[in-house]
Structure 1
Amino acid sequence: MAALLECFLLAVAVVLVAHSAAAPAASRLPLPPAAAAGDVSAGSDSDRLALMAFKKLSNGFVGCIPESLGDLQFLEAISLADNKLRCRIPDSFGNLHELVELYLDNNELEGSLPISLFNLSSLEMLNIQDNNLTGVFPPDMGDRLPNLQQFLVSKNQFHGLIPPSLCNLSMIQVIQTVDNFLSGTIPQCLGRNQKMLSVVNFDGNQLEATNDADWGFLSSLTNCSNMILIDVSINKLQGVLPKAIGNMSTQLEYFGITNNNITGTIPESIGNLVNLDELDMENNLLMGSLPASLGNLKKLNRLSLSNNNFSGSIPQLSFRNGGPFLQQPFRPIPKELFLISTISSFLYLAHNRLTGNLPSEVGNLKNLDELDLSDNKISGKIPTTIGECQSLQYLNLSGNFLEGTIPPSLEQLRGLLVLDLSQNNLSGTIPRFLGSMTGLSTLNLSSNYFEGEVPKDGIFLNATATSVMGNNDLCGGAPQLKLPKCSNQTKHGLSSKIIIIIIAGSTILFLILFTCFALRRRTKLRRANPKIPLSDEQHMRVSYAQLSKATNRFASENLIGVGSFGAVYKGRIGISDQQMVVAVKVLNLQQAGAYRSFDAECEALRCIRHRNLVKILTVCSGIDFQGSDFKALVFEFLPNGNLDQWLHKHLEEEGEPKVLNLVERLQIAIDVASALEYLHQHKPCPIVHCDLKPSNILLDNDMVAHVGDFGLARFLHQEHSNSSDKSTGWNAIRGTIGYVAPEYGLGNEVSIHGDVYSYGILLLEMFTGKRPTNSEFGEVLTLHEYVETALPDQTTSVIDQDLLNATWNSEGTAQKYHHIEEIRTECIVSILKVGILCSKEIPTDRMQIGDALRELQAIRDRFDTHQL
């Protein structure tokens, strides 16, 4: 019995006991039976303490949860999340009367909840999300679980009503039932006596509301001063939107009612929710004008009001061709909406009845990614201030009454990916600068009144990405557009007009020449003493001559690194009488793939912003003093070098070798994971870095990590659309030996799983101090296998000794040193396990980067009270 119990305890992650050891992560193992522990209640105090928590997080366990686990009557926490467990939740769980936390999320559990589970009056956390559970909730569950704080049942198949007894949970903080089949009304008493309630998420059910009484829950929720999220989207809610939403807690950050049949207007009191970050009301029947009080929401980041019936009144309009347009009630877009400079993700107002001019205040949205005003009745010209929205990637103004020409300021939108100006009254020639916007992937100018010759470069060479149909006076362009050839008569007519203009302007020729002379003189003075501050333009313009001067002609003493496609130099660029230190990456264009690397890095860096990614300042694409092509990227200079130098070369600080301690390494690992999670969740398509390694991780003054070198980065949508990659060999370049995922060697396409593998190897390297290409591994053993084999009995043999040696100091005692060493070793082992899970050979067996990030953050929080 004792031997079997010891074996069982090695299979669980015991919290609250510092000296207990966790078993190595297993792939697709059955959950160990707990029958041998059935008599533990009569055991020693240490046995009892050891079984206060049972934790097996993300080990790939399959099969059923043993009924005998319910015999461990002193358990206070169970976590079997992120496995492959099936069958039902054991009835015996009802015996765990001291259970406080139960995590069974992200498995394949089925059946209904055992009624005995609702006898656990001590339960505070119930997380059973992401399973196949079904059934209904007991009507009296709120009375039987008086201490429940978090009720998380999302993504299952529960049906029936939300029990009104939930209103009796005075300690409840979070209620989340997303994506189930719950029906009926939301209890009107919800929140009435629940001061701590902060999250209510009923998204994706079949809940109903048909009258004011059914909406009573919103009035009750105004009592919850800690409320930060309310989401009732994708239900069957009808009736008028209550004015009570304006009385919600000012702490509210998210309010969502999308995809219902809600009528009425947005109350003016919405402006009271001053901390609102996201407001989603699309796909409803809302009407009336947009309240000017929206301008009070200074922290608003996302706003979606598309597909409603917002309206007002305007004079009768008519189409350009004279066709009738029936008078309808419309309302101009309130300019206050564009004064919310914090809106950065999206602003969706499509499919409404908004009219009037697009306000020039739109230029205030300098950080906005997506703007959709399509299918309204907006008239007037496209304001030139649109060019100030320099982060814009998606711009859709189609289906309106816009007129005039495309403003030249649109060329300033360097990150623009999609531009849709179709079905308007725009005229004039198509600007040639649209063909030089290298990032533009979709362009729709159809059904307007453009005339003249269509450009023949850039996006216009891709007939599937460009639409110009319905412009009867266009000619020329790429053959695939199938437009008529431009006639010579048109050219002659244009020449005659030019001649007439020249003759008519001969009387002011002297003034023109004088003006040109003055402008030329002013230009020379400006070049001699540039005064354009960096803050005036998101990306300053630099030439080869400026970069050559900044780096002292790319002198060797300024060389700070060499990569696969070029070299990086440290330089100083003068901006407004101030010197700015920069890092200049100069591409070696003789190297195969360098041009593609430059394009890939530009494409990735122009549309990503994250505190743990390198910050690009500008690019230079031109010719050098010898007339050869020259391409360079200019980054913010990060003074603490790269991670590889710190791990293996031990940079010096004040003449002494500097070694990264455990806390610094763990924080760097968290920083890198945070950057990867951002890239892998990037919209509209994920980005795969493809070359994650220590030398591509740079450290700033505060030792914050920044992932760099996006020369091999890939947007996932490109992997299937660019067939030329395979013929040029570009597709085969997937990273660096030792860090590259094994499936890439088999010809598999790049994926986020490949980045996770590289991250896992990086994590193992950071805490073992050994490169994955270390010769001591031989030709058979890998760094992953080297670490996995050593855990848990030989852990100290693989840990970087610099981390263990750093615990001793002259003032410490041997006993204190031993205690600190144990804590430190336990922390490192937990980190190495994450590295092992991320670097599994089979891609689908690897930990998701988001889970790895949260696990590392939990490890940091778990040990932050100890001296590491």
Structure 2
Amino acid sequence: MVLSFTAISASLGGGNETDHQALLHIKSMITQDPYGALTSWNNSLHFCDWTGVTCGKRHRRVTRIQLQKQGLEGYLSSHVGNLSFLRGLYLSINNFQGAIPPELGRLSRLRVLALDLNKFTGIIPTNISRCSNLEVLALSRNKIVGSIPKEISFLSQLTFCSLGDNKLTGGIPPFLGNITSIEVFSAVRNPLGGSIPDTLGHWNSLNNFYCGSCNLSRTIPHSLFNLSLLTNFSLNDNQLTGSLPSTIVLPRLEFLQLWGNKLTGPIPSSISNCSRLRGLEMNKNKFHGKLEIDFEKVKDIYVIRLGNNNFGSNEVGEMRFIDSLKNCTKLEELDLDECMFQGELPRSIGNLSDKLSYLSLTENKLQGSIPQSIGNLVGLTFLSLGGNKFTGNIPQTIGNLQKLTEVYLYGNQLSGPIPDVMGNLSSLLTLSLYSNMLKGHIPSSIGNCTSLLELYLDNNNLDGKIPTQLLQLSSLSKMLDLSNNKLYGALPTEVGDLNMLSILDISNNYLSGLIPSSLGDCASLSTLSLKGNLFRGTIPPTLSSMKGLVELDISLNNLSGKIPQFLERLKYLNLSYNDFEGEVPMLGVFSNASAFIVSGNSRLCGGLVELGLPKCKETNKHKKKLPLFAMVILIAFVLFTTTCLTYVWCKKRKRSQPSLSSTNKRFIKVTYNQLLKATDGFSEANLIGNGGFSSVYKGILDEYDDEFVAVKVLNLKNRGAQRSFMRECEVWRNIRHRNLLKIITSCSSVDFQGNDFKALIYEYMSNGSLHDWLYSSERSLNLLQRISILIDVASALDYIHNQCIPTVVHGDLKPSNVLLDDCIVAHVGDFGLAQFLGTTSYQNSSTMDRGTIGYTAPEYGLGSEMTCSGDVYSFGILLLEVMTGKKPTDDIFIEGLSIHKFASIALSNHVIDVIDASILKVYQDNEIAMQEENSKKIEECMASAIKIGVSCSMDSPLQRMDIKKVVHELWNIHDTLQSIQV
């Protein structure tokens, strides 16, 4: 009997020592312990008393390790597999790395394995199936690769499985349906791919299912909509197609997230029976038909997101579902953006919950007046009704909404004055009223909005003087845009109080007087546009203190004097059509002919040869002075003449804004015969490109100083070619910019067979197109060159979108329409699909006229009208192509993977993996670039560029980056790369 007891004691002692040694090995593999969690892990205490260790009372064996949120770094020792009594291993929210040790498979008693929020790599160990009692498997937010192993299906007691935010592939395997005990399953944000297996319909205990952003495709098995215990159902941001079942029986459902897919058909009215529903997120799909959910039955709902669908039914009262929301007293967010809704907004909108903080009906086709009842929604912080067809006045009741921080009423047909009650909105951060028909004065009460960051009042009919109270809003830091109105008078000296403002645009008004010297106090300004006004006098020297200024446009004014030297440091400068005199500098911005404009100043001289200005004459110190009486007569004559001319010019200016093209020299005239001779009979040898409507030839035109030209011959047999020709002619009559292709003339004649002949003659671009360079085996562009080209293209878009009247939309931006000159400066061409916004020209164009597959904005495919945002999308795709070297139609982009998603995924992993190999090779061969500090900067620049491309190519137009910001961000990248000097 004594021998037996001794043997048992020895056995227990051996087991304890095994646990002791295992814990010490675990500690030895931990390299960082910032909070001292393992300080007690030493021989001064029994290991059962160590921090985070729990032992069983009977055998004193380790049953639980709890070390969450301790900042631990290192590796998980394989000796963890020796803790044979372990039931719970909790290591969440640390920095463990390396592979998950397969020795965990020895722990047959293990019930909880929580390794989430670490940096584990490698695969999920297959022998984890030996942990037959495992109930909780938490591996989310690591860097685990490979597929979900079949062996997991042997875990018959598993109730919680979280695998999200890893790099798992191989789809959701059908064998998972065998784990009928599953209650919670999450695999969010993994590139799994594939479809959702029908076998998941066997999960009768399931209550939470999360598989958003998994690149899943095909249909959702209808059996999932019969899982009666389901409370949270999330399949957002995938590529799922098909329709939903007409009958959805989910009595416990609280959250349904299916946004960001390609689901079609109507949203089933049976969702009304999900009486516990709190969140409904079905936005960014292709649902259509009348919205017939009876929201009176889902009174606890607080989030409704149905935007970016096609609910517009053309039926009378299609917005009546708003009536059923009156009893949803907990509703906080209602998103109905871009749903094709038509008709009037019901007055019942004012009956919604006083807890409603977010209301958006942006980009629909709503008309009529904005209901006065909108003022009942006193809980609103965000209100967007922009991009509709609302008419009438802005309701006075909007002044009741004192919690508002953002108001977007842009792009409607609102008229009347801006109500004084806007000044009641003291919490306002953004006010966007641009592109309406508002008139009257800017109310001084806006000066009460002391939190305002950005204000957009451009493109209205506002008149009067700029109120000083507005300029004293020191909070304005992002944007103040008052352009394209009828404002007059002097620019108040209080403008200097805007010392936090980044962008100020007061162009195309009737402002006069001197440019106030106080403007120099706006130290944060990066972009300033005063163009198209009546400013006179010289450029104040105080502007030299604006150290952050990058872009300055003071064109089309009456400014005079010499060009100040401090302007050299700008990135872009437009001084055209003023009365500047003297020598044009040649340093800084003046060293790059594409970065500044001085045309229309007849008294300038010198500068770059490309400007074609006369040489400056040397001053003659011994020149005789005129007699005093002659000087007096001469000055009087000049003053009289100037006064008369100024009066006549101002009278003309008030009648119409002159276009740049009105001052250009007349186009040279060419005939069919001259073009035939120039191109050697339109020979194949001179063919340099083909398009949908035309062929382009290289030629030498005698009438153009024997220089090469590009002759674009329209194929008039192709449907739409005639219209394309007319568009280009109209566009080129109205625009001129350093980064747009220069047109020389046009030809409308007949050939020798009597057939109609039409051609456009352009300046020849010796370096071909951007497309040619991107896919050439003989030449390549380095990163700095690519960024410079992207700046050129973005600047061209900024010009046609924001500086042209009317605004021009290109409609077909792609690498083959970007031409490069001798200095690799980019020029955007081919305006055959362009449109003028706000005019009737070509507004009835079919969707066939809207760009090229892969570059065309997704909303165009749904019938939306062409917009500047569509060009931004095309630019984003072009940018990603420039950076990755892959076309948007590349063979790898299948099964829901697009160039946008390809780049977006890389941002969160390793952006170098998607960068064009020819860019990387240039820098890998450069010793300076490969220095650690420079290499890191270059990689950051690449990532920044990709971010811009991803932001510009978002599916939703509202989420796309503003083109002005694009130009600014690209210049930052350019400057960083240039500073490295590689």
One-letter code aligned to 1:189: D
Hey, what does 1:207 align to over in structure 2?
341
Hey, what does 2:249 align to over in structure 1?
119
One-letter code aligned to 2:220: I
Q: Distance in 1 between matches of 2:473 and 2:267?
A: 43
Q: Does the Cα contact within 8 Å between 1:13 and 1:54 map onto a contact in 2?
A: no
Shift of the 73–242 alpha-carbon distance from structure 1 to 2, 3 Å rule, reads same
Q: Does the Cα contact within 8 Å between 1:80 and 1:104 map onto a contact in 2?
A: yes
Match of 1:32 among 163, 166, 173: 173
Normalising by structure 2, report the TM-score: 0.45
Q: Distance in 2 between matches of 1:183 and 1:25?
A: 39
Shift of the 266–755 alpha-carbon distance from structure 1 to 2, 3 Å rule, reads closer
Hey, what does 2:943 align to over in structure 1?
751
1:303 is aligned to 2:431: yes
One-letter code aligned to 2:174: P
Q: Distance in 2 between matches of 1:24 and 1:432?
A: 54
CA deviation map 1:256-276 (0-9, x unaligned): 222222222334444443343
Alignment of 1:80-479 (within 5 A): 80-116=211-247, 118-141=248-271, 143-163=272-292, 165-184=294-313, 185-187=318-320, 188-189=322-323, 191-210=325-344, 214-221=345-352, 224-249=353-378, 251-312=379-440, 330-435=463-568, 437=569, 440-479=570-609
How far residue 730 of structure 1 moved from its aligned partner, in angstroms, is: 8.6
One-letter code aligned to 1:264: G
Shift of the 485–299 alpha-carbon distance from structure 1 to 2, 3 Å rule, reads farther
One-letter code aligned to 1:342: S
One-letter code aligned to 1:135: G
One-letter code aligned to 1:420: D
Q: Does the Cα contact within 8 Å between 1:298 and 1:340 map onto a contact in 2?
A: no
Alignment of 1:417-816 (within 5 A): 417-435=550-568, 437=569, 440-488=570-618, 729=926, 732-733=929-930, 735=932, 750-752=942-944
1:77 is aligned to 2:208: yes
How far residue 171 of structure 1 moved from its aligned partner, in angstroms, is: 1.5
Q: Distance in 2 between matches of 1:86 and 1:273?
A: 43
CA deviation map 1:485-519 (0-9, x unaligned): 23346998999999x99xxxxxxxxxxxxxxxxxx
How far residue 414 of structure 1 moved from its aligned partner, in angstroms, is: 2.0
> The residue matched to 1:60 in structure 2 has which SS?
coil
How far residue 379 of structure 1 moved from its aligned partner, in angstroms, is: 3.5
How far residue 456 of structure 1 moved from its aligned partner, in angstroms, is: 2.4
How far residue 36 of structure 1 moved from its aligned partner, in angstroms, is: 4.7
Q: How many residues align?
A: 505
Shift of the 144–312 alpha-carbon distance from structure 1 to 2, 3 Å rule, reads same
- CA-based RMSD of the aligned residues comes to 4.7
Q: Distance in 2 between matches of 1:752 and 1:100?
A: 40
How far residue 291 of structure 1 moved from its aligned partner, in angstroms, is: 3.3
Shift of the 24–80 alpha-carbon distance from structure 1 to 2, 3 Å rule, reads closer
One-letter code aligned to 1:367: M
One-letter code aligned to 1:348: D
Identity, % of aligned pairs? 33
Q: Distance in 2 between matches of 1:491 and 1:179?
A: 73
How far residue 24 of structure 1 moved from its aligned partner, in angstroms, is: 9.7
Shift of the 341–425 alpha-carbon distance from structure 1 to 2, 3 Å rule, reads same
Q: Does the Cα contact within 8 Å between 1:108 and 1:132 map onto a contact in 2?
A: yes
Q: Distance in 2 between matches of 1:368 and 1:473?
A: 34
Q: Does the Cα contact within 8 Å between 1:354 and 1:378 map onto a contact in 2?
A: yes
Q: Distance in 1 between matches of 2:349 and 2:476?
A: 26
Shift of the 402–384 alpha-carbon distance from structure 1 to 2, 3 Å rule, reads same
> The residue matched to 1:206 in structure 2 has which SS?
coil
Q: Does the Cα contact within 8 Å between 1:90 and 1:114 map onto a contact in 2?
A: no
How far residue 55 of structure 1 moved from its aligned partner, in angstroms, is: 0.5
Q: Which consecutive residues of structure 2, in runs of 5 or more, have no partner in the other structure?
A: 1-127, 142-156, 443-460, 632-783, 789-875, 881-910, 949-982
> The residue matched to 2:218 in structure 1 has which SS?
coil
One-letter code aligned to 1:60: P
CA deviation map 1:55-87 (0-9, x unaligned): 011221111111121221221111101111111
Q: Distance in 1 between matches of 2:612 and 2:477?
A: 39
Of structures 1 and 2, the larger Rg is shown by: 2
Bigger relative contact order, structure 1 or 2 (CA pairs below 8 A, ≥6 apart): 1
How far residue 731 of structure 1 moved from its aligned partner, in angstroms, is: 8.2
Q: Distance in 1 between matches of 2:625 and 2:273?
A: 89
One-letter code aligned to 2:178: A
Q: Distance in 2 between matches of 1:69 and 1:358?
A: 68
Q: Distance in 2 between matches of 1:452 and 1:755?
A: 44
Q: Which consecutive residues of structure 1, in runs of 5 or more, have no partner in the other structure?
A: 41-47, 315-327, 502-595, 601-681, 687-713, 757-868
How far residue 89 of structure 1 moved from its aligned partner, in angstroms, is: 0.9
Q: Does the Cα contact within 8 Å between 2:375 and 2:399 map onto a contact in 1?
A: yes
How far residue 17 of structure 1 moved from its aligned partner, in angstroms, is: 9.1
One-letter code aligned to 1:732: A
Q: Distance in 2 between matches of 1:150 and 1:388?
A: 49
Q: Distance in 1 between matches of 2:283 and 2:916?
A: 33
Q: Does the Cα contact within 8 Å between 2:438 and 2:462 map onto a contact in 1?
A: no
Q: Does the Cα contact within 8 Å between 1:307 and 1:352 map onto a contact in 2?
A: no
Q: Does the Cα contact within 8 Å between 1:12 and 1:55 map onto a contact in 2?
A: no
Q: Does the Cα contact within 8 Å between 2:268 and 2:293 map onto a contact in 1?
A: no
How far residue 387 of structure 1 moved from its aligned partner, in angstroms, is: 2.9
How far residue 194 of structure 1 moved from its aligned partner, in angstroms, is: 2.2
